[in-house]
Amino acid sequence: MQRIKIEIAYDGTRYHGWQRQADLPSIQETLEKNILQITGEKTTVTGSGRTDAGVHALKQVAAFTTKSTLTPEVFQRALNGFLPHDIRILHADTVPLSFHPIRHAVSKRYRYLIDDQQPNCPVIRNYCWGYREPLDIPAMQESAKYLLGTHDFACFQTQGSPRQTTVRTVSGVSVLRQTDSPLLPPLIRIEIEADGFLYNMVRAIAGTLALIGTNAKRKTKHKPPNPISIQEMIESKNRSLAGPTAPPHGLYLIDVVY
């Protein structure tokens, strides 16, 4: 027996998330079907986390156990030969049989992209949140600082996936306008790294920062700034006090650290 660790990139547009689902296409099921074609074995591919329908990955990590004697390099080439073009194996390696992509992960990093240019660019509509109006980036940057550190992030958790604790440690957060691509509009890029994430946590944070950026940009008597800060939201542990959950297609899993 050998355990193969794979790093995967995928466009989540056509899939109903990572996890295998009845009668709906998923990343996990697609990988498992193609491994079956290569080895003749039914195996479970365990990912570092479950991305939702429409969410993308620049580096998802997964592992599976096999009796096959094929090398990781051969697995990588073979899988890329069978897989659809919107899923690619970036790297493959052997790891101890005890390796678990979720339990052994030290941190994960996500990116969220927002197109606040008016009008929005239709070419990238499946790869970023086409926002309805311009956002105030300095206000978003200032608010994002309060996410750093160890906190109870219950206010950014969508109900439906119970956790033993809602305390997480955010080790890095940034908000900036991405201007380094001649082919894309100047997108807003939010990046967050933490030792773990609650269900829809990144999307809730992105939605909250967008709300703050909206209110700060308007600055009129009829649209006053958001009366509650991110610090107060965290202290409240109340989901209803935070902003909306941003749509899934702007979200990317970009790194998993072990």
Residue 180 binned pLDDT confidence (cut-offs 50, 70, 90): confident
Q: What is the pLDDT of residue 172?
A: 98
Q: What is the pLDDT of residue 221?
A: 44
Q: What is the pLDDT of residue 84?
A: 97
Q: Is residue 249 helix, strand or coil? A: helix
Q: What is the pLDDT of residue 224?
A: 47
Tell me the whole-structure pTM to 2 decimals.
0.94
Q: What is the pLDDT of residue 181?
A: 84
Q: What is the pLDDT of residue 116?
A: 97
Task: Reply yes or no on whether 52 is catalytic.
Answer: yes
**What are the residue boundaries of the structural domains of the chain, listed by start?**
2-95, 107-257
**Pair of tokens at residue 28:** 């996990």
48 has pLDDT over 80: yes
223 has pLDDT over 70: no
Q: What is the pLDDT of residue 218?
A: 76
Q: Choosing from 52, 115, 136, 255, which is the catalytic residue?
A: 52
Fold classified for 2-95: Alpha-Beta Plaits (3.30.70)
Q: Is there a shared CATH topology between the 2-95 domain and the 107-257 domain? A: yes
pLDDT tens digits for 70-126?
999 999 999 999 999 999 999 999 999 999 999 999 999 999 999 999 999 999 999
Tell me if the bond preceding 244 is cis, omega within 30° of 0. no
Which whole number is the average pLDDT over 135-157?
96
Burial class (CB in 10 A: 0-12, 13-18, 19+), 220: exposed
Q: Is residue 148 helix, strand or coil? A: coil
25 pairs with which residues across the strands?
A: none
Return the H-helix or E-strand segment holding 203: helix 201-218
Task: Give the separation between CA 223 and CA 228, rounded to whole angstroms.
Answer: 14
5 pairs with which residues across the strands?
A: 63, 93
Q: Are strands 129-130 and 56-66 parallel, antiparallel or unpaired?
A: unpaired
* CATH number at 107-257: 3.30.70.660
Chain-centroid distance of CA 114 in Å reads 14
Residue 161 binned pLDDT confidence (cut-offs 50, 70, 90): low
User: What is the average pLDDT value for the chain, to the nearest integer?
Assistant: 94
